[in-house]
Amino acid sequence: MRVFCVDKNGIRLFKKLVDHFSLNFDGNILIPIFPYFWSDIEEWNSYYAKFVKIADHVFHFEDLVSRQQHIFQNVDPWRLYSFVKNYTLDKQDGVIHYSNYNNAPNLRGTPNNQLMERFNYPIIEENEAHGYQFRLLNNLHKKIFNNNISYEINQKYFKYLKSGSSPHIIEKIWTRYAPSFQWVNVFMCSRNNEDTIQDTFHHFTLMETMYPWRWRYYIYENDSTDTTPILIKDFMDDKNGKYVSTIHKTSLFGHVQSLERVKNMSMYRNKCKRMCTNWTDSPYSLLIDTNISFPITLFEYLLCEMKKIENCVMIAPFAATKEGTYYDTYAFQTITNENNYPKNVYEPFEVKSAFGGFVIIKSNVLEKCNWKPLDKNHSEHNGLCEQVRKHGKIYVCHPSDQHTIWKD
Protein backbone atom coordinates (compact mmCIF):
# COMPACT_ATOMS: atom_id res chain seq x y z
CA MET A 1 0.00 0.00 0.00
CA ARG A 2 1.36 3.40 -1.00
CA VAL A 3 0.26 6.91 -0.16
CA PHE A 4 0.66 9.66 -2.75
CA CYS A 5 0.16 13.35 -2.12
CA VAL A 6 -0.18 15.50 -5.22
CA ASP A 7 -0.70 19.10 -6.16
CA LYS A 8 -3.39 20.12 -8.64
CA ASN A 9 -1.17 19.36 -11.64
CA GLY A 10 -0.87 15.76 -10.55
CA ILE A 11 2.78 16.11 -9.54
CA ARG A 12 3.69 13.71 -6.74
CA LEU A 13 5.06 15.62 -3.78
CA PHE A 14 6.25 12.46 -2.12
CA LYS A 15 6.17 8.74 -2.69
CA LYS A 16 6.72 6.63 0.35
CA LEU A 17 5.85 3.14 1.49
CA VAL A 18 3.78 3.21 4.64
CA ASP A 19 4.10 -0.37 5.74
CA HIS A 20 3.81 0.56 9.43
CA PHE A 21 0.17 1.58 8.95
CA SER A 22 -2.27 -1.30 8.92
CA LEU A 23 -5.24 0.09 6.99
CA ASN A 24 -8.35 -1.95 6.38
CA PHE A 25 -8.34 -1.63 2.60
CA ASP A 26 -5.89 -2.46 -0.16
CA GLY A 27 -4.41 -0.39 -2.93
CA ASN A 28 -3.07 3.14 -3.26
CA ILE A 29 -4.36 6.16 -1.40
CA LEU A 30 -4.13 9.52 -3.09
CA ILE A 31 -4.59 12.79 -1.23
CA PRO A 32 -4.94 15.96 -3.35
CA ILE A 33 -3.16 18.84 -1.64
CA PHE A 34 -4.85 21.85 -3.15
CA PRO A 35 -7.89 23.95 -2.31
CA TYR A 36 -10.28 22.34 -4.74
CA PHE A 37 -13.03 24.94 -4.75
CA TRP A 38 -10.58 27.57 -6.03
CA SER A 39 -10.35 25.97 -9.46
CA ASP A 40 -13.26 25.63 -11.84
CA ILE A 41 -15.45 22.57 -12.22
CA GLU A 42 -13.88 21.49 -15.50
CA GLU A 43 -10.41 21.56 -13.98
CA TRP A 44 -11.57 19.59 -10.97
CA ASN A 45 -13.17 16.88 -13.10
CA SER A 46 -10.02 16.66 -15.17
CA TYR A 47 -7.80 16.30 -12.11
CA TYR A 48 -10.11 13.79 -10.51
CA ALA A 49 -10.13 11.65 -13.67
CA LYS A 50 -6.32 11.55 -13.55
CA PHE A 51 -6.25 10.73 -9.85
CA VAL A 52 -8.58 7.73 -9.96
CA LYS A 53 -6.34 6.09 -12.57
CA ILE A 54 -3.41 5.87 -10.16
CA ALA A 55 -5.23 5.34 -6.87
CA ASP A 56 -8.02 3.16 -5.55
CA HIS A 57 -9.00 5.68 -2.85
CA VAL A 58 -8.95 9.47 -3.25
CA PHE A 59 -9.35 11.75 -0.24
CA HIS A 60 -9.04 15.47 0.13
CA PHE A 61 -6.50 16.47 2.74
CA GLU A 62 -9.08 18.45 4.72
CA ASP A 63 -11.33 15.38 4.79
CA LEU A 64 -8.45 13.25 6.00
CA VAL A 65 -7.75 15.59 8.90
CA SER A 66 -11.27 16.50 9.93
CA ARG A 67 -12.89 13.09 9.56
CA GLN A 68 -9.93 10.75 9.74
CA GLN A 69 -11.45 8.64 12.50
CA HIS A 70 -14.33 7.75 10.14
CA ILE A 71 -12.21 7.19 7.03
CA PHE A 72 -9.50 5.02 8.53
CA GLN A 73 -10.35 2.08 10.73
CA ASN A 74 -7.86 0.11 12.81
CA VAL A 75 -5.16 2.73 12.41
CA ASP A 76 -3.73 5.27 14.81
CA PRO A 77 -5.15 8.53 13.36
CA TRP A 78 -2.67 10.76 15.19
CA ARG A 79 0.35 8.95 13.74
CA LEU A 80 -1.17 9.10 10.28
CA TYR A 81 -2.08 12.76 10.69
CA SER A 82 1.45 13.65 11.84
CA PHE A 83 2.93 11.70 8.95
CA VAL A 84 0.82 13.46 6.33
CA LYS A 85 1.24 16.86 7.97
CA ASN A 86 5.03 16.63 8.03
CA TYR A 87 5.23 15.82 4.36
CA THR A 88 2.44 17.95 2.97
CA LEU A 89 0.66 20.58 5.02
CA ASP A 90 3.84 22.16 6.35
CA LYS A 91 5.14 22.47 2.76
CA GLN A 92 2.02 23.96 1.17
CA ASP A 93 0.88 27.57 1.20
CA GLY A 94 -2.56 27.16 -0.31
CA VAL A 95 -4.11 24.33 1.65
CA ILE A 96 -7.57 24.72 3.11
CA HIS A 97 -7.06 23.07 6.47
CA TYR A 98 -9.36 21.18 8.80
CA SER A 99 -12.55 21.90 6.82
CA ASN A 100 -12.34 25.45 8.17
CA TYR A 101 -12.94 27.85 5.31
CA ASN A 102 -13.21 31.05 7.33
CA ASN A 103 -9.82 32.01 5.95
CA ALA A 104 -10.86 31.39 2.35
CA PRO A 105 -11.11 35.09 1.40
CA ASN A 106 -7.49 35.56 2.46
CA LEU A 107 -6.24 33.09 -0.15
CA ARG A 108 -5.16 34.24 -3.57
CA GLY A 109 -7.69 33.86 -6.34
CA THR A 110 -11.37 34.46 -6.87
CA PRO A 111 -13.82 31.88 -5.54
CA ASN A 112 -15.93 30.23 -8.19
CA ASN A 113 -19.56 30.56 -7.04
CA GLN A 114 -20.82 27.60 -9.02
CA LEU A 115 -18.14 25.30 -7.66
CA MET A 116 -18.53 26.53 -4.11
CA GLU A 117 -22.27 25.88 -4.34
CA ARG A 118 -21.61 22.37 -5.62
CA PHE A 119 -19.39 21.61 -2.65
CA ASN A 120 -21.87 23.25 -0.28
CA TYR A 121 -19.57 26.07 0.80
CA PRO A 122 -21.01 29.53 1.40
CA ILE A 123 -20.14 32.29 -1.02
CA ILE A 124 -18.31 35.13 0.64
CA GLU A 125 -18.58 38.38 -1.32
CA GLU A 126 -16.17 41.26 -1.00
CA ASN A 127 -19.08 43.45 0.04
CA GLU A 128 -18.32 44.46 3.63
CA ALA A 129 -21.94 44.26 4.82
CA HIS A 130 -22.40 40.79 3.34
CA GLY A 131 -19.10 39.68 4.88
CA TYR A 132 -20.29 40.83 8.31
CA GLN A 133 -23.62 39.00 7.90
CA PHE A 134 -21.83 35.83 6.84
CA ARG A 135 -19.55 35.92 9.87
CA LEU A 136 -22.55 36.56 12.12
CA LEU A 137 -24.50 33.59 10.69
CA ASN A 138 -21.48 31.32 10.58
CA ASN A 139 -20.47 32.03 14.17
CA LEU A 140 -24.06 31.49 15.31
CA HIS A 141 -24.24 28.23 13.34
CA LYS A 142 -20.99 26.97 14.89
CA LYS A 143 -22.24 27.86 18.35
CA ILE A 144 -25.43 25.80 17.92
CA PHE A 145 -24.52 23.03 15.47
CA ASN A 146 -20.78 22.75 16.09
CA ASN A 147 -19.82 23.19 12.44
CA ASN A 148 -19.58 25.83 9.75
CA ILE A 149 -22.65 26.94 7.87
CA SER A 150 -23.37 25.44 4.44
CA TYR A 151 -23.94 27.36 1.23
CA GLU A 152 -27.65 26.54 1.14
CA ILE A 153 -28.35 27.51 4.75
CA ASN A 154 -26.22 30.64 4.47
CA GLN A 155 -28.18 31.82 1.43
CA LYS A 156 -31.54 31.07 3.05
CA TYR A 157 -30.92 32.86 6.33
CA PHE A 158 -29.04 35.72 4.72
CA LYS A 159 -32.35 36.53 3.03
CA TYR A 160 -34.03 36.41 6.45
CA LEU A 161 -31.57 38.98 7.77
CA LYS A 162 -32.06 41.21 4.74
CA SER A 163 -35.83 41.07 5.25
CA GLY A 164 -35.51 42.25 8.86
CA SER A 165 -35.26 39.08 10.96
CA SER A 166 -32.97 39.40 13.96
CA PRO A 167 -30.09 37.02 14.80
CA HIS A 168 -31.93 36.22 18.04
CA ILE A 169 -34.94 34.87 16.10
CA ILE A 170 -32.66 32.77 13.87
CA GLU A 171 -30.93 31.42 16.95
CA LYS A 172 -34.26 30.34 18.44
CA ILE A 173 -35.20 28.59 15.18
CA TRP A 174 -31.88 26.75 14.94
CA THR A 175 -31.90 25.75 18.60
CA ARG A 176 -35.04 23.69 17.97
CA TYR A 177 -33.11 21.50 15.55
CA ALA A 178 -29.75 21.43 17.32
CA PRO A 179 -28.31 17.91 17.74
CA SER A 180 -27.81 16.63 21.26
CA PHE A 181 -24.03 16.86 21.38
CA GLN A 182 -22.42 16.34 24.75
CA TRP A 183 -20.58 19.28 26.23
CA VAL A 184 -16.94 19.75 27.12
CA ASN A 185 -16.41 22.41 29.80
CA VAL A 186 -13.16 24.28 29.19
CA PHE A 187 -11.52 26.16 32.08
CA MET A 188 -8.69 28.65 31.59
CA CYS A 189 -7.09 31.39 33.69
CA SER A 190 -5.28 34.21 31.92
CA ARG A 191 -3.06 37.18 32.63
CA ASN A 192 -0.98 39.19 30.13
CA ASN A 193 -1.20 36.57 27.39
CA GLU A 194 -1.72 38.67 24.28
CA ASP A 195 1.31 37.08 22.59
CA THR A 196 -0.03 33.52 22.73
CA ILE A 197 -3.74 33.49 23.53
CA GLN A 198 -4.90 34.09 19.96
CA ASP A 199 -3.09 30.93 18.88
CA THR A 200 -4.89 29.04 21.66
CA PHE A 201 -8.24 30.45 20.51
CA HIS A 202 -7.47 29.48 16.91
CA HIS A 203 -6.85 25.91 18.05
CA PHE A 204 -10.17 25.91 19.90
CA THR A 205 -11.95 27.07 16.75
CA LEU A 206 -10.43 24.23 14.74
CA MET A 207 -11.29 21.69 17.43
CA GLU A 208 -14.91 22.86 17.34
CA THR A 209 -15.19 21.94 13.66
CA MET A 210 -13.35 18.63 13.95
CA TYR A 211 -15.05 16.71 16.73
CA PRO A 212 -18.65 15.79 17.69
CA TRP A 213 -18.59 17.79 20.92
CA ARG A 214 -20.02 21.11 21.97
CA TRP A 215 -17.62 23.40 23.78
CA ARG A 216 -18.39 25.68 26.71
CA TYR A 217 -15.65 28.09 27.79
CA TYR A 218 -15.02 29.53 31.25
CA ILE A 219 -12.20 32.07 31.20
CA TYR A 220 -11.01 33.98 34.24
CA GLU A 221 -8.70 36.93 33.53
CA ASN A 222 -7.16 39.18 36.13
CA ASP A 223 -4.81 42.16 36.32
CA SER A 224 -3.71 42.16 32.68
CA THR A 225 -1.91 45.27 31.47
CA ASP A 226 -2.01 44.31 27.78
CA THR A 227 -4.84 43.57 25.35
CA THR A 228 -5.69 40.14 26.82
CA PRO A 229 -9.15 41.21 28.14
CA ILE A 230 -10.12 42.54 24.70
CA LEU A 231 -8.96 39.37 22.94
CA ILE A 232 -10.97 37.24 25.36
CA LYS A 233 -14.08 39.37 24.87
CA ASP A 234 -13.78 39.10 21.08
CA PHE A 235 -13.35 35.32 21.29
CA MET A 236 -16.32 34.85 23.61
CA ASP A 237 -18.71 36.95 21.50
CA ASP A 238 -19.91 33.85 19.65
CA LYS A 239 -19.08 31.15 22.22
CA ASN A 240 -21.02 29.34 24.89
CA GLY A 241 -19.91 29.87 28.49
CA LYS A 242 -18.78 32.85 30.57
CA TYR A 243 -15.74 35.01 31.13
CA VAL A 244 -14.64 37.41 33.84
CA SER A 245 -12.08 40.22 33.73
CA THR A 246 -11.20 41.61 37.11
CA ILE A 247 -8.47 43.30 39.14
CA HIS A 248 -6.99 41.80 42.30
CA LYS A 249 -3.77 43.87 42.34
CA THR A 250 -1.83 40.69 43.10
CA SER A 251 1.81 40.11 42.25
CA LEU A 252 2.88 38.26 39.10
CA PHE A 253 5.33 35.60 40.30
CA GLY A 254 6.39 33.93 37.06
CA HIS A 255 8.27 30.72 37.83
CA VAL A 256 9.07 31.62 41.45
CA GLN A 257 7.89 28.99 43.93
CA SER A 258 5.95 30.82 46.62
CA LEU A 259 3.10 29.97 48.97
CA GLU A 260 1.47 33.31 48.13
CA ARG A 261 1.58 32.38 44.45
CA VAL A 262 -0.03 29.00 45.16
CA LYS A 263 -2.77 30.67 47.23
CA ASN A 264 -3.47 33.21 44.46
CA MET A 265 -3.58 30.59 41.72
CA SER A 266 -5.90 28.43 43.81
CA MET A 267 -8.20 31.42 44.21
CA TYR A 268 -8.18 32.22 40.46
CA ARG A 269 -8.86 28.63 39.40
CA ASN A 270 -11.63 28.09 41.92
CA LYS A 271 -13.32 31.32 40.85
CA CYS A 272 -13.04 30.15 37.26
CA LYS A 273 -14.59 26.80 38.15
CA ARG A 274 -17.47 28.43 40.03
CA MET A 275 -18.57 30.19 36.84
CA CYS A 276 -19.78 26.81 35.61
CA THR A 277 -23.26 25.78 36.69
CA ASN A 278 -23.75 23.04 34.08
CA TRP A 279 -22.15 19.74 35.05
CA THR A 280 -24.66 16.97 34.35
CA ASP A 281 -24.60 17.46 30.54
CA SER A 282 -20.79 17.37 30.40
CA PRO A 283 -18.96 14.05 30.74
CA TYR A 284 -15.50 15.64 30.45
CA SER A 285 -13.84 18.93 31.31
CA LEU A 286 -10.65 20.42 29.93
CA LEU A 287 -8.27 22.35 32.19
CA ILE A 288 -5.89 24.35 30.03
CA ASP A 289 -3.06 26.77 30.65
CA THR A 290 -2.02 29.77 28.60
CA ASN A 291 1.46 30.08 27.08
CA ILE A 292 1.45 26.54 25.73
CA SER A 293 1.21 25.11 22.24
CA PHE A 294 -0.55 21.84 21.53
CA PRO A 295 -1.73 19.82 18.53
CA ILE A 296 -5.44 20.06 17.85
CA THR A 297 -5.65 16.26 18.04
CA LEU A 298 -4.40 16.24 21.65
CA PHE A 299 -7.86 16.25 23.22
CA GLU A 300 -9.04 13.15 21.35
CA TYR A 301 -5.67 11.46 21.89
CA LEU A 302 -5.82 11.92 25.66
CA LEU A 303 -9.48 10.92 25.77
CA CYS A 304 -8.71 7.74 23.83
CA GLU A 305 -5.91 6.85 26.26
CA MET A 306 -8.10 7.70 29.24
CA LYS A 307 -10.87 5.35 28.12
CA LYS A 308 -8.40 2.45 27.89
CA ILE A 309 -7.49 2.73 31.59
CA GLU A 310 -9.77 1.30 34.24
CA ASN A 311 -10.97 3.88 36.80
CA CYS A 312 -8.94 6.71 35.26
CA VAL A 313 -10.71 9.99 36.05
CA MET A 314 -7.98 12.43 35.02
CA ILE A 315 -5.20 12.36 32.45
CA ALA A 316 -2.38 14.78 31.62
CA PRO A 317 -0.04 14.95 28.61
CA PHE A 318 3.73 14.85 28.41
CA ALA A 319 4.65 18.52 28.86
CA ALA A 320 7.85 19.52 27.07
CA THR A 321 10.19 22.46 27.04
CA LYS A 322 11.51 23.58 23.67
CA GLU A 323 14.48 21.31 24.38
CA GLY A 324 12.17 18.33 24.86
CA THR A 325 12.52 17.82 28.62
CA TYR A 326 9.52 17.62 30.95
CA TYR A 327 8.74 21.11 32.26
CA ASP A 328 5.86 21.00 34.75
CA THR A 329 7.78 19.51 37.67
CA TYR A 330 6.13 21.91 40.12
CA ALA A 331 2.85 19.98 39.79
CA PHE A 332 4.38 16.56 39.06
CA GLN A 333 4.53 13.85 41.74
CA THR A 334 4.88 10.13 41.13
CA ILE A 335 3.30 7.42 43.25
CA THR A 336 6.67 7.16 45.05
CA ASN A 337 6.76 10.97 45.60
CA GLU A 338 9.41 11.73 42.95
CA ASN A 339 9.22 15.13 41.23
CA ASN A 340 11.26 14.28 38.14
CA TYR A 341 9.71 12.63 35.10
CA PRO A 342 11.04 9.05 34.86
CA LYS A 343 13.20 7.85 31.98
CA ASN A 344 12.34 5.17 29.42
CA VAL A 345 8.58 5.55 29.67
CA TYR A 346 6.58 4.11 26.78
CA GLU A 347 3.00 4.11 28.03
CA PRO A 348 0.79 6.18 30.36
CA PHE A 349 1.48 5.66 34.07
CA GLU A 350 -0.27 6.50 37.32
CA VAL A 351 0.82 9.50 39.40
CA LYS A 352 -0.24 11.34 42.52
CA SER A 353 -0.26 14.70 40.77
CA ALA A 354 0.36 16.24 37.34
CA PHE A 355 -0.88 19.03 35.10
CA GLY A 356 1.19 19.85 32.00
CA GLY A 357 -1.11 22.61 30.79
CA PHE A 358 -3.79 20.43 29.17
CA VAL A 359 -5.74 18.07 31.43
CA ILE A 360 -8.89 16.06 30.77
CA ILE A 361 -10.89 15.28 33.89
CA LYS A 362 -14.32 13.76 34.35
CA SER A 363 -16.73 16.61 35.00
CA ASN A 364 -18.56 14.87 37.84
CA VAL A 365 -15.21 14.52 39.63
CA LEU A 366 -14.09 18.11 39.01
CA GLU A 367 -17.43 19.35 40.36
CA LYS A 368 -16.58 17.79 43.74
CA CYS A 369 -12.97 19.03 43.93
CA ASN A 370 -11.16 22.34 44.30
CA TRP A 371 -7.67 23.70 44.01
CA LYS A 372 -6.01 24.37 47.34
CA PRO A 373 -2.55 25.41 48.59
CA LEU A 374 -0.44 22.79 50.39
CA ASP A 375 2.92 24.54 50.76
CA LYS A 376 5.35 26.55 48.64
CA ASN A 377 7.02 23.37 47.32
CA HIS A 378 3.81 22.13 45.66
CA SER A 379 1.61 23.84 43.11
CA GLU A 380 -2.12 24.40 43.44
CA HIS A 381 -2.63 21.35 41.22
CA ASN A 382 -1.19 19.06 43.88
CA GLY A 383 -4.00 20.15 46.20
CA LEU A 384 -6.58 19.47 43.48
CA CYS A 385 -5.11 16.06 42.63
CA GLU A 386 -5.12 15.07 46.30
CA GLN A 387 -8.92 15.31 46.19
CA VAL A 388 -9.28 13.84 42.68
CA ARG A 389 -7.54 10.62 43.75
CA LYS A 390 -10.37 9.96 46.21
CA HIS A 391 -12.58 9.35 43.15
CA GLY A 392 -10.21 7.46 40.85
CA LYS A 393 -6.77 7.33 39.27
CA ILE A 394 -4.64 10.05 37.65
CA TYR A 395 -2.40 9.18 34.71
CA VAL A 396 0.29 10.97 32.72
CA CYS A 397 1.04 10.14 29.12
CA HIS A 398 4.40 9.05 27.78
CA PRO A 399 6.49 11.19 25.35
CA SER A 400 5.02 11.24 21.82
CA ASP A 401 4.13 13.76 19.16
CA GLN A 402 0.93 14.41 21.15
CA HIS A 403 2.22 16.72 23.89
CA THR A 404 2.21 20.32 25.07
CA ILE A 405 5.13 22.71 24.67
CA TRP A 406 5.78 25.54 27.08
CA LYS A 407 6.23 28.78 25.12
CA ASP A 408 7.72 31.03 27.80
Secondary structure (3-state) at 216: strand
Q: Residue 128: exposed, middle, or buried by beta-carbon count in 10 A (0-12, 13-18, 19+)?
A: exposed
Q: Which CATH architecture has domain 183-406?
A: Alpha-Beta Complex (3.90)
The pLDDT tens digits of the residues spanning 144-180 come to: 887 667 777 888 898 888 888 888 899 889 988 887 7
Q: Where are the domains of the chain?
A: 2-91, 122-176, 183-406
Per the CB < 8 A criterion, the answer to whether 394 and 316 are in contact is yes
pLDDT (tens digit per residue) in 40-74: 444 545 655 665 565 555 555 444 444 344 444 44
- In this predicted structure, the answer to whether residue 185 has a pLDDT above a threshold of 60 is yes
At 82 the pLDDT is 54
Rounded to whole angstroms, how far apart are CA atoms 37 and 116?
6
321-334 tens-digit pLDDT: 988 899 999 999 99
Closest CA to 328 of 303, 358, 349, 299: 358
Establish how many alpha carbons lie within 13 A of residue 160's alpha carbon, considering only the half-sphere containing its beta carbon. Answer: 17
pTM above 0.75, yes or no: no
In the predicted model, what is the mean pLDDT of residues 82-99?
A: 39
Per residue in 208-257, pLDDT tens? 766 778 899 999 999 999 999 999 998 998 789 999 999 999 887 777 77
The chain-wide mean pLDDT, for the chain, equals: 76
**Rounded Cα distance, 405 and 320, in Å:** 5
Q: How many Å apart are CA 149 and CA 152, to the nearest integer?
A: 8
- 16 exposed, middle or buried (CB, 10 Å; 0-12, 13-18, 19+)? exposed
**Residues near 154 by beta carbon (within 8 Å), at least 6 away in sequence:** 122, 123, 134, 137, 138
Instruction: Label residue 27 by pLDDT band (50, 70, 90).
Output: low
Q: Which range (110-124, 260-274, 305-319, 366-380) has the least confidence?
A: 110-124
Please report which helix (H) or strand (E) contains residue 381, including its range: helix 380-388
Rg (CA), the chain: 23
Name the β-bridge partners of 177: none
Average pLDDT over residues 355-367: 97
